[in-house]
Amino acid sequence: MTCATLEYCAVEGGRLAYEDLGDGPPLILLHGFSFDHHAWDRQVGRLAAVHRVIRYDLRGFGRSSIPTGEYGHGEDLGELISHLGIVDPVLVGLSLGANVALAYALDHPGGVRGLVLASPGLPGFFWDEVRPPDAAAAHARLHGVDSAREFWLDSALFAPLRRDPTLFAPLARMVGRYHGWHWRHPNPVRMPPVLERLPRCDVPALILSGDLDVAGYRRIAAKLGSEMAASRVLRFPDAGHVLNDEADLAFVTAVIEFARAPGGDPPTNTRRGSSDETGELSTRGS
């Protein structure tokens, strides 16, 4: 793992903690709910070997400020991009981070060179089952934050990762650091509409979906792939929601090859995976 000293960027009503690593075309990494910038520990060194990589804690997570009033993740991201003088980044988001990346691209036409949306959510999307973060929030209201952390880690969302204790243990430690603020307070986050704007998104996008993820997230990935004109879906047959760790090498390869030419050919993969004409990626043994 490559580490740098955490730095801070002032945003309206708070500050964001971030790391700035490497040199080259910029990548910005956005983590998922209950995570922090350490979600990218296994990938950041290889990405920073060929890119300038910024990974940061979203507001309300990690070392970034707790919300004290209305805020927007997209506005925060824009402040960070301006603070660092970044032009035309590729945004790489996991789960909640993918939501933020997509909304930012829709709000800033021409401001993003490409999107990598891993296990994306989609505000406004109808779930046939209870959405996993909502189930954890309901559990927290009844049983408290400590119990909710255990409930969350034991959910189907992380079942594929639990197969490998060496991968699950760092994630459990990271979630253990999560203070549970969103489970104890109403979240005053501004949520720009996304669903109805999908057909207007012309940013090249690579959508990564694990076949072992829960059904709702797999349906979202398919919907994004069908409605975003410049997108393509890459499936990981033996990975679930945290596919950056579950299919680590294939994930890094896909990100690097996509970032090289976001509007070009689909990524090919070496060693731990190969793409075929269906867009399916073999990750067994990864």
* Residues facing residue 7 across a β-bridge: 18
What secondary structure does DSSP assign to 151-208, as a single string? HHHTSGGGHHHHT-HHHHHHHHHHHHH---HHHHS---B-----GGGGGG--S-EEEE
pLDDT of residue 263: 79
Is 145 part of any domain? no
Could you tell me if residue 181 is inside a domain? no
CATH number at residue 205: 3.40.50.1820
Give the pLDDT score at 278: 36
155: left (phi over 0), alpha (psi -120 to 50) or beta: beta
Q: Is 206 within a domain?
A: yes
Q: From CA 197, how far away is CA 216, in angstroms rounded?
A: 20
Written as one letter, the residue type at 124 is G
Structural domain tally of the chain? Answer: 1
Give the structural domain span for 82. 7-126+187-260
Does residue 214 fall inside a structural domain? yes
SS (H, E, C) 46-85: HHHCCCEEEEECCCCCCCCCCCCCCECHHHHHHHHHHHHC
Pairing of strands 7-11, 14-21: antiparallel
Q: Average per-residue pLDDT in the chain?
A: 92
280 assigned to some structural domain = no
Find tokens 């309206």 and name the residue. 12
Write the pLDDT tens digit of every residue in 68-113.
Answer: 999 999 999 999 999 999 999 999 999 999 999 999 999 999 999 9
Average pLDDT of the segment spanning 27-52 = 98
Mean pLDDT along residues 184-204: 95
Q: How many CB atoms lie within 10 A of CB 94?
A: 28
Assigned domain for 29 exists = yes
What pLDDT band is residue 280 in, cutting at 50, 70 and 90?
A: low
> Is 172 within the bounds of a domain?
no
Do 236 and 263 contact (CB within 8 A), yes or no? no
**Chain segment 137-162, per-residue pLDDT in tens:** 999 999 999 999 999 999 999 999 99
Confidence of residue 45 (pLDDT cuts 50, 70, 90): very high
Which one-letter DSSP state was computed for residue 280?
B
How confident is the model at residue 264, as a pLDDT?
Answer: 72
Assess whether pLDDT exceeds 70 at residue 134: yes
- 268 in a structural domain: no
